[in-house]
Each structure stands twice: as structure tokens, then as C-alpha cells.
Structure 1
């Protein structure tokens, strides 16, 4: 078997590593650098450029250059160039092919297998899209692994002591935080959280906006519609950001940036670190929520952390490091390379999967990796409730089954509606798949036994199946890229659950109460019908009135607008009807 390479497929830069002589090493790019820009370009002559060569020509060829495609994974985004539509998987595959070629040149042998990393908060569709990109590139993707987990794997190899570690991963386009326990050769992810649309690109954009605004103030020229000028500004903004990690101020000089009345206009601006920190302070503050959420889900306090690892180029920003100190009370560890550790961890996992696993320091045991799923998975049940089968932060791989039944009498088919997210009501979560189980043996409501099974593999990719235990009929679905969940939607999943926790609680109570009320109304209708002759006329009239009163409240109740006051009215009407029904039964 050949070598299994580890690939960190990044938003801004990508990196590839392999295990050589029992240690992970970074494979240099064709230009000799340790990382490869995640940029693809098409020249007007039809040539395809990948990496550094694509990045260098972006200024003169902006509308045929694609960067930061990782932010579009799992969506229907595409870019049309020369009559061809390029999807995120296709562009990502081009980057992966370049990394594969670099690895083959380095090793002197063909490479066909890889472990590829993704943000911990990538959903099922995004993971599948990444795996598809690997397949397009000619790679058998042995495992999709979360980036913070991979970084911890790289760190855990060289540190034998048992400890809980926070991985704070702020890259070019995504932010993840994971709490990971390392001990006795086992690396176990306790929790994960994040923001799929927060990273270095957003920091760059703030500097770009500032530059455009300053230039407009000074020269009364709006550069935002000038493609070539904007590409130069973007490059200058990224460079300024990097320089401000080491210096207190930087000079942004761009000669011949525009023309005013036929005369060339040059840019010469000074940006201080303090100004930059003011521009991005709210972005840095956005990392606080996921950090606190991950600690809470892991059930630990910052004081219980043994180490905080910084991953991703954006963690070099001093204000980011200061935020981490404030949130954890700890000095972040400086003994791993934030650009390389994710790829090295992936290479370690690849070596382990190939059967040539490395051993952890101190214990001498083979490393065992236990990862988690980032979001809860549910199916829709009666009343529009999202009934969870797998909770977020469940250890992978995971398989869970639950028995359900029919809601209406003599149903011969049921719709299985698969959801992802943290809200208790189905409509507030994201639909990631639907399928129908047919051939159910006709029976009264509640009699058929339908077993629904969720199966998530080690890559975090989901398969859902439903089986009628009486007839043995079965139907299943593997969630594919046709069932898309956008980055904005997944970002909101946890936040919405927190913001609307009170509202959600009322809705869940309403579903239960309405279900009980409907049963009572059915009993009352039967009693009225059965007691036409023998029931006291006054009691029968009271029973009819109480039934009508409860039915009016139930019909009027709208889950999207329900409040505690309405629920109290329904409870009171239900109690009144129960009392009258009890009298009628004596």
C-alpha cells in the first residue's frame, strides 16, 4: 500500500503532509513554500493555473480567478467561465490535484489515498461535497476529519501527559473551537462549536472597506467598481494585516491606482494596529459565543483546561491572542505551527488508517481518535415537533434507532422528514432530506411499528433508514448535495436555539397540550353521541358547551404566535370539560 497523505484544504491556503520515518512532515509546494494558495485561475489562452501562479496574476485577471471557494462548499454557487460552470467541488478538486502532484513529486511514487480535513462545523452536505472533490481529484478519501481534532492529533503525538485541550481555530474563512481530552493514547473530542462564516477574509474586508473610504475622502474617487484596483487593494489589505501582527503601524502604498481627469493618482496610507483592532473588534468578539458554548457542552470551566492551542493564520493577530487570554485565563501554547499542524494531524491519522500507526508519547500506545457530530439530527413527528435521534457532540461513529408509529388510521405510507439543528420545532430547523416508506400493513393509528435508524460514519456523513417491523419493508437515504444547507443557515442553528429558547419551550408545551385536548374532545364527542337519550338534558347541554369552548381555543391556537396566556386558557377549558365529562360518566 502506498502512502496516505494528509490534506488541510483551507479557505486561503492549503497544506499537505505525509508521515516519513515515523514523523509527520510538510510537503513543499512547487514554489518551495510550505503552503499552497487555495486559488484557481483560467487564462484567456485556456491555461489553468493553481496556487501561487494563480494568486500572482489575480490583479490582472480578477474576473477569471477564483479564491475562497471553501466558503461555498455544499451550496449551489457556481462560476461560469468560457461557457463552463465551475462548482465548488470542481474548483476544490483542482487544488487537491495540485497537492496530490506535489506529494507524488516529493515521494517519487503515485499517491491515491488521503485524509482531508474540514471545519468542525461543516454540515453533512459540506462534508460530502469535500469528499466528492477528493474523488474528482483522483483520491480515495479514507477519512474526513475535523480541523481542530486534526490539530489536537498532531499536538497529542508529542505530549504524553493527560490533559484537556482547547483548540481555537481561526482560519481564512471559518472559526471552530473544540474541547479535546488527551490521555492514555486516546484523543477524545468532548464538544465542538463554531461559526462557518468568520475568518481572515472578513478581517481583510474590513481593511479593504477602510482603504476605499479613505481614498474616496481624499480623492473623491470610488474604487469599489474598479476590478483591477480592488484586487490590488485586497492584496495590500492582506499584507497590511500580516504586518500589523509584528509592528504597530504599516504603510499601504499603491502607485498608479486610479486616474482623475487623465492624471494618475497614487495611494499612500498609514494604518496603525490600534485602528485595525477597532475595525475588527466585533469580529473578534464573535468568537466568544462558540468558546463559551463549547466549554459548557463539555461540562468544564476554563480553569480545567491544560492547554489552549491556536490554529489558523488569523490567530497570529495580537488582539485575537488577547481575546483567548481573556476567555480562558491561559497563555496560548506557542509550540505548534498554526499553518501546518492540521495537515500533520491528518497525515498521522492517514498513517494510522494504513496500518502503520504512530504511538503516542509517554504511553507507547497506538493513538485512538474519537470525534463528534457538530449538530443534532431529528425527524419530524406529529405536531411539527423535531424529535431528536442523535444529539450534537455525540461521539462518532454513531448509530441510533427509535420506534415510531402512524398518526392516522390505516396509513400505508409515511413521510420521513430528516432535520438538522437545535430547535425543538421542525420548521425552525434545516431540512436535509425527505423520503417515503411505502407498503405499511394497514392498521389503526398507533399500531404499526416503524423503526427509524440514523447512522453517521466516522466521516460525519449520515444515512437514514426506516423499516416497517411487521412487513419488513425498508427504505433509506444517504443525504447528498441536493439537500443543501447554506452557511448562513447553519451559523444560525445554535444561535437561534439560544435566542428563542423561551419561545421554543412554549411551543413544545403547546404541542403536548393540544394533543391532550384533542383526545379529550374525541372522548367528549363520543359521550355526547352515546348519551342522546339517557343523559340528563342539562348535563348534556353543559357538555356540549364545554366541548365547543375547548374546541374554539384549540382551533384558534397558532404555534408560531402562541403564548403562556393562551395555554392557560386551554388548560382551564380542558379542566372544565374533564369535570363535566366525569359527571356524565357517573
Structure 2
């Protein structure tokens, strides 16, 4: 009997998480398998810890029973947003950090996978601009769950890879990934089975913020109805969560071509039974600022890529918030209906894309040059475009040609100012003598972080400066060349 292999991808989301595998005897015979909750949906990124015993409940069970468990359990949601925070929580005699809590979500996903097979390593998708500290802590959380993170991929790029078969004829694709926690936009170039990231952009306003905004609006309406003045922040946690959940449902209804949505609660804090309704026009006007910001984010990413609207062949829309009717109307108005592509299995796209990258051997590389601007205006390349990642440390020696007390270095990715993604000026102390030597060393690690170190050849090779850059442009090889 042939031994089956599995290649795993994980979408560790703010609101929901999901795992997907490409499983089969060979890469030619694989089938996709999704892992979420027992109802066939993604795994809610929710962790509940018993205040007395320390028992942990995660996922759909924690979400379904929240109303009845709120008093006995401490609830944590959106843990990805605080994964790098230096905080801890004392629960049942144990100190819990964000890493510990995130590890429970990974454990929950691994348990779902483990009913059929074992997951020991995976590629994990993260938002655009996910910081070095967040990647490091998320990697540690996965490790505590027994999962080795092979590499990180940006969520919009993973979403494209999931739809590669349908979109492979397009040369330039803008991925618009608007979920519960963030908006991530990536402008991609597809050529010869490789996916090149040309530019990325993101913002922290997303579906959860819209749900909260709508809940505040309805809370004010309920207070007016009942003649009670009570701040939204003072409403009990259970009532507040139920209202936010009802507002999320209303948001979905209004995006499904409904003219209005009702929001009714029977035991809303001291206000008791409340009844409300929001019409589509009111909803559209309410979220217009968020839609404007999202559209600007898309436009900014396209401009950063060096392209314009005429050069974009398709806009791939993923994430629950990308289905908002006011957003669709704006996208159609500005780009045309033929430009938009909405996948059918959007809730699994990011995890599936990560698993496809894993199956293609996870080959990826640098899609930009990294180097120094020299005093004569020339560009000296430290790491070349096309360099496979991660890469080994590279060292060069440079000499100070003056007797100044400081040496100045300018790190960037292009000689042309218009094409530069970044400019980093580094100033380090010098001994004040002619032709003093400095050693520059750099490499890119498993977390796609460019790490730089400047040392003096004098003074016992003292490290004078360190710097990391976490917004690299990369490419992914989907056809295993």
C-alpha cells in the first residue's frame, strides 16, 4: 500500500483559523482536505480558560457556550493582535502569556488534523506587515503545539496561490484580502509558474471594527427607545458580545441584497427586550469611511507596485469583509465588474494556498536587490534579486576614506529613487583615522527578515549597529522548478 504524504498550510486568523492539507500518494494525485470545526467551518480563534481549574476550551465549543461559561472562564479573542505584547494573565495559579494562548489555538487545529493524520510542520500565513516579534512569537506558539513552521507567507499571496489554476492566465493580479482583523493588499506578477510580490499594503481596520461600530449605533438607538443613559462600555460583557454578534449577522444580511436587517435582543443588560432595524442606505453611509480607507489602500498598493489601474488584469477579493455590498459597488464603479474575482471557498483559500506552497517544496526567493548607496551615487548589491531564501550570512569590508568621527551608510533596494521601497540611514561611531575598516554582514532568516550587523575592525570587533527589515518582496515557485 502506498504511503500518503501531506503538505500543510495554516491560516492563523484574528477571528477564525483554518488548516488545509494537500494529501496523496504523489503530488500528481493529491486532494485537498480542510480542517476546522466539527461543522465544516473554520476554527474560531477563541480560547477560554477555567478560572479555578485551568481547563482550556477552544474553537467552536468555546464560542457556542460562551454565554453560559463567561462567569467560570476567562475568554481571549483576537490573540494574534497582541501576540507580541509583553503581558501575562494569572489564571488558576498559572501565568498565561499571549504565546501560551496562541499555542492552544494551534493545538486545537492539530487535534482536528490528528483525527486522520499527523501534522508536524506547516507553512503559516500572516498579514502584510506582520512584525519580526510577532512572527517569532507565533513560531514559538506553533512549536509548543508540536508544529514546526517551515516558513511564513503573506495572507493575500497565499489566497492567490489557492486560486492559481483559475487565475494563471493573468499577468498582474491585485489581491484584496479584507477579513475580520486586517485589510491586506498585495500586487502580484505571475510569470513562468512563479508568483512575484511587487508591492504590499495594509490597514488595521476590518470586519470586527465594522461590527463594533454598528453595535455602538444600535446601542444608542436602544438607549433612546428606553430612555436610559448608559455608556456602551458599561454594558455587561455577555450582552455586549450578543449585540456585536447580532450586528455581524445584520451586516451579512445587508450584503446579501437585503434592504434592511432587524436586530432584536431579549435580555440586553438592564434595558431588557430591545428591537431595532437598520436599512441598507443607513448602513452604507455608516461604513463609508471604512470603505474609503479600504479603496485608498488598494490604490496605494497599485501605485507602490509601479503599475496603474490599466495594468491590473484582475482583483481577487477574499476575506469576509470583501463581500460587503457597499464595497462591491465601489469596486465595480471604479474598476468594472469584469475585473473582480470572488472564489467560492473563500474561507479556506488562505490555508489552502499555504499548503500548495508547501507542496511545491516551499521554494521562494528575493524579489528585490538589497544593498548600499555609495558616496559616488552608485549602488552596491549585498543580496541579489532571485536569491533563494533563507540565505547564509554575507560579509563585506569597507573603509572610511575620511578622518571623521562617524561613518554613514545608506541601505536601500534601488539606485533609482522612484523605485525604492525603503531607505535606511545608519550612522556609527568611528575612531577618527583614515581608512578605518568596518565589516558589514547580512542575511535573511526563516521569518523573511533581513538582518544587518555593522562591526568595527578595531576595538575588539565591537558591534556598532544592528537592524532588521521585515517588508521584503519575495517570489514563490508554484511549479517546483
Deviation string 1:353-383 (CA, Å, 9 cap, x unpaired) is 27xxxxxxxxxxxxx655769xx9999xxxx
Q: Could you say if the C-alpha distance between residues 115 and 200 of structure 1 is closer, same or farther in structure 2, counting changes exceeding 3 Å?
A: same
Larger radius of gyration: 1
Distance 1:478 1:340 in 2: 39
CA distance in 2, matches of 1:255, 1:206: 21
Q: Residue 539 of structure 1 aligns with which residue?
A: none
Tell me the CA shift for residue 258 of structure 1.
2.8
1:288 alignment partner in structure 2: 295
Q: Pick the aligned partner of 1:224 from 212, 229, 233.
A: 233
Offset at residue 80 of structure 1 (A): 3.9
The reply on whether 1:453 has 2:464 as its aligned counterpart is: no
Deviates more, 1:288-297 or 1:92-101: 288-297
Change (3 A) 1:410 1:249: closer
2:255 is the counterpart of 1:245: yes
1:257 paired with 2:260, answer no
Q: Does 1:185 align with 2:193?
A: yes
Count, aligned residues? 444
Tell me which residue corresponds to 2:98.
Answer: 88
The answer on whether the counterparts of 1:168 and 1:178 sit within 8 Å (CA) in structure 2 is: yes
Residues in 2 aligned to 1:287 and 1:73: alpha-carbon distance in whole angstroms: 24
| Preserved CA contact (<8 Å) 2:9 2:123 | yes
Q: Which residue is equivalent to 1:68?
A: 78
* Residue 179 (structure 1) shift: 0.8
* In structure 2, distance between residues paired with 1:236 and 1:73: 28
Aligned counterparts, 1:184-583, within 5 A: 184-195=192-203, 197-219=204-226, 220-222=228-230, 223-225=232-234, 226-246=236-256, 247-259=258-270, 265-331=272-338, 332-353=340-361, 369=364, 397=389, 444-445=432-433, 447-457=435-445, 459-468=447-456, 473=461, 475=463
Q: CA deviation at 1:409?
A: 6.2
TM superposition shift of 1:50: 0.5
Q: Which runs of 5+ in 1 are unaligned?
A: 355-367, 380-386, 428-433, 491-586
Cα distance change of structure 1 residues 476 and 456 upon mapping to structure 2, 3 Å threshold: farther
- Residues 534-577 of structure 1: CA deviation (Å, up to 9, x unaligned): xxxxxxxxxxxxxxxxxxxxxxxxxxxxxxxxxxxxxxxxxxxx
Whether the 8 Å contact between 2:99 and 2:141 is mirrored in structure 1 is yes
Give per-residue Cα distances to partners, 1:472-499, cap 9 Å, x unaligned.
947599989xx9x9xxxx9xxxxxxxxx
Judging changes above 3 Å, is the alpha-carbon distance between structure 1 residues 158 and 444 closer, same or farther for their aligned structure 2 residues? same
Unaligned runs of 5+ in 2: 373-378, 413-419, 472-481
The answer for the alignment partner of 1:38 in structure 2 is: 45
* 1:240–1:28 Cα change, 3 Å: same
Tell me, in whole angstroms, the C-alpha distance in 1 between the residues paired with 2:162 and 2:30.
10
Deviation of 1:36 after TM superposition, in Å, equals 0.6
1:375-403 residue CA offsets vs partner (Å, 9 max, x unmatched): x9999xxxxxxx99999x99874788776
Higher mean displacement: 299-308 or 71-80: 71-80
Q: Please state which structure has a larger fraction of its residues in helix.
A: 1
Given that residues 402 and 451 in structure 1 are in contact (C-alpha distance below 8 angstroms), is that contact kept between their aligned partners in structure 2? yes
* Matching residue of 1:116: 124
Give the Cα separation in 1 of the matches to 2:371 and 2:61. 46
Corresponding residue for 2:376?
none
Secondary structure of the equivalent of 2:303? helix
Deviation for aligned residue 1:3: 2.6
Change in CA separation of 1:267 and 1:103 when aligned onto 2, cut-off 3 Å: same
TM-score by length of 2: 0.79
Is structure 2 residue 23 aligned with structure 1 residue 20? Answer: yes
- Between structures 1 and 2, the one with greater strand share: 2
Note closer, same or farther for the CA distance 1:424–1:192 as it changes in structure 2 (3 Å cut): closer
* Aligned equivalent of 2:8: 5
Q: Deviations over 1:156-189 (max 9, x none)?
A: 1444424211100111111111111122211111
Query: Structure 1's 248 and 353: CA in aligned 2 closer, same or farther, altered over 3 A?
Result: same
Deviation at 1:68, TM superposition (A): 1.0
Structure 1 residue aligned with 2:110: 100
| TM-superposed deviation, 1:85 | 3.7
**How far 1:341 sits from its partner (Å)?**
0.9
Are 1:151 and 1:341, in contact at CA under 8 Å, matched by a contact in 2?
A: yes
**Deviation string for 1:271-323 (max 9, x for gaps)?**
12222222211111112332222111221111222211111111111112223
SS in 1 for 2:41: coil
How big is the shift at 1:445? Answer: 3.7
Q: Secondary structure at the match of 1:207?
A: helix
Following TM superposition, by how much is the alpha carbon of 1:457 offset from its aligned partner in structure 2, in angstroms?
3.4
Measured after TM superposition, the shift of residue 135 of structure 1 is 1.3
Aligned-partner SS, 2:265: strand
Aligned-partner Cα distance in 2 for 1:176–1:209: 26
Corresponding residue number in structure 2 for 1:165:
173
Superposed CA RMSD in Å reads: 4.1
Deviation at 1:11, TM superposition (A): 0.6
Whole-Å separation in 2 of the counterparts to 1:30 and 1:97: 13
